[in-house]
Amino acid sequence: MADKQISNGTCAYCKETFPKNVIKRHLNTCKERQAAQEAASQKSRTKKERLFHLLVEGRGLPMYWLHLEVPASAKLADLDQYLRDIWLECCGHLSAFRIDKVSYSISPEEDFFPMGFPGGNDPLGGMFPMMPAPLPPPPPELAPLLSMDIEGLFHKYLAEQRAKVGDETAEAFFQAVLKRLIADMTDMLEKTLGAAIMNDLKAELNVDLKKLSAKDMLTRLDALEQEAIQEAESLPPFPLLFDDFREEDMGSALGDVLKVGTKFDHEYDFGSTTELTLKVLSEREGVALGKKKAPVVLLARNEAPEILCEVCGQPATLVCTNCNWGGAAYSNHGAVCKKCAKKHKCGDEMMLPIVNSPRTGVCAYGSEWV
Ligand SMILES: [Zn+2]
Ligand SMILES: [Zn+2]
Ligand SMILES: [Zn+2]
Ligand SMILES: [Zn+2]
């Protein structure tokens, strides 16, 4: 499996391959990188600034890694965008960094609906318009009552009364019809609603109602109500039910929230989440090599781990999302080579390409239509 392979990676400057554990040392001495830095500082109108050296890894997937250089002035949103571009983006899911006790998330209002939320200004209201809660199904005992055809019965009794009509008044004629109808309904109420109430009481009090006095029953019901109120009051206040991360957007500059040694996390897609761990390895003063709008610079990247065809053991090129839900980086279940893909039972439309990303085979990552 992929995680047993020695994880090699390529230096973005000299394009040479190094094992993961020595590439940091190489990056500090790479002649090509030094030349690039030299060239940047020769340009006119350059100013030196703080530059962070970051290591990014897939959580639980250390064979996927990136060495990045990012100015301390760059925003968390810039880093998020870079990670999306190189590793993550499939369908514009939400994402967040967690640094210490703060969660910095992409503000969906600004980033996903530039024209504002479809449902108005309230983000949740727009996404999830308030739907009336569905009614719970009626207890089965009530089914006969609810399906009682009162109109049908009325017409039936009306026809029967008509057949034997004499010289009674119109009022007496209809009273006779209604009497039968009310008798039917009373009977049905006793049988069905009565049974439903008795069953509820029996379940609640857990006692034979025939042996319980009415007064005792009322005392017990009052006690149960008090218990329920106390239980509700003893729960922690609403927000404490959730973890105590403070929420912010990604407008912060890296230099304001990170320092050398800081370890932090990134999550993309809160459904089929891809989790990354990040660490600030070091910092230097220098001229940034990136652009103002794309300030993140790639220093080195892992080579694609080999994921083998589950059927024949040759390198796999596709993974079936019907067979593998967690992603091909974790397991080669459903991974197939080109040849074996033709014989795979689930069909073409379930296949995603295997790519060099911890998100390979997850959601729609790598498919042509995203
Ligand atoms: Zn190099
Ligand atoms: Zn997706
Ligand atoms: Zn194969
Ligand atoms: Zn399949």
What digits encode the pLDDT tens for the residues 314-337?
A: 999 999 998 998 899 989 999 999
The answer to whether residues 296 and 317 belong to one domain is no
Q: What is the mean pLDDT of the segment spanning 332-343?
A: 93
Average pLDDT, the chain: 86
Q: Which ligand is nearest to the CA of 316?
A: 3
DSSP state of 91: S
DSSP-assigned states of every residue in 99-167 = ETTEEEE--HHHHT-TT--TT-S-HHHHHS--PPPPPPPPPGGGHHHHT--HHHHHHHHHHHHHHT--S
Tens digit of each residue's pLDDT (9 = 90 or more) over 85-99: 999 998 888 999 999
DSSP state of 315: B
Q: Which amino acid is at 268?
A: Y
The answer to whether residues 160 and 223 belong to one domain is yes
344 C-alpha vs ligand 3 centroid, how far in Å? 10
Whether 285 is in a domain gets the answer: yes
The answer to whether residues 47 and 78 belong to one domain is yes
353 C-alpha vs ligand 2 centroid, how far in Å? 14
Whether 226 is in a domain gets the answer: yes
Whether 355 is in a domain gets the answer: yes
Residue 136: the pLDDT is 65
C-beta separation of 247 from 105 below 8 A: yes
Q: Which ligand is nearest to the CA of 273?
A: 2
208 C-alpha vs ligand 4 centroid, how far in Å? 55
- C-alpha dist (Å) from residue 15 to 18, 25, 29, 273, 294: 10, 15, 14, 31, 21
User: Residue 148: which residues within 8 A CB-CB, separation 6 or more?
Assistant: 184, 185, 188
The answer to whether residues 7 and 102 belong to one domain is yes
The answer to whether residues 101 and 6 belong to one domain is yes
Structure tokens at 247: 């929420």
C-beta separation of 321 from 295 below 8 A: no
Domain with 310, as residue range(s), is 306-365
In the chain, % helix, strand, coil (3-state, to 5) comes to 40, 20, 40
Q: Which ligand is nearest to the CA of 324?
A: 4
Q: Which ligand is nearest to the CA of 367?
A: 2
62 C-alpha vs ligand 3 centroid, how far in Å? 26
Distance CA 334, CA 354 (A): 11
> Is residue 130 very low, low, confident or very high in pLDDT (cuts 50, 70, 90)?
very low
336 C-alpha vs ligand 4 centroid, how far in Å? 9
Q: Which ligand is nearest to the CA of 344?
A: 4
342 C-alpha vs ligand 4 centroid, how far in Å? 11
Cα end-to-end distance, the chain, whole Å: 28
Helix locations, 3-58, DSSP H: 23-29, 31-42
318 C-alpha vs ligand 3 centroid, how far in Å? 10
Q: Which amino acid is at 104?
A: Y
Which of 234, 258, 291 is at the close of a domain? 234
The answer to whether residues 221 and 298 belong to one domain is no
10 C-alpha vs ligand 1 centroid, how far in Å? 8
- The total number of structural domains in the chain stands at 3
69 C-alpha vs ligand 4 centroid, how far in Å? 40
Residue 195: the pLDDT is 85
91 C-alpha vs ligand 2 centroid, how far in Å? 4
Whether 134 is in a domain gets the answer: no
Most confident range (mean pLDDT) of 39-53, 243-257, 351-365 is: 351-365
Residue 6: the pLDDT is 64
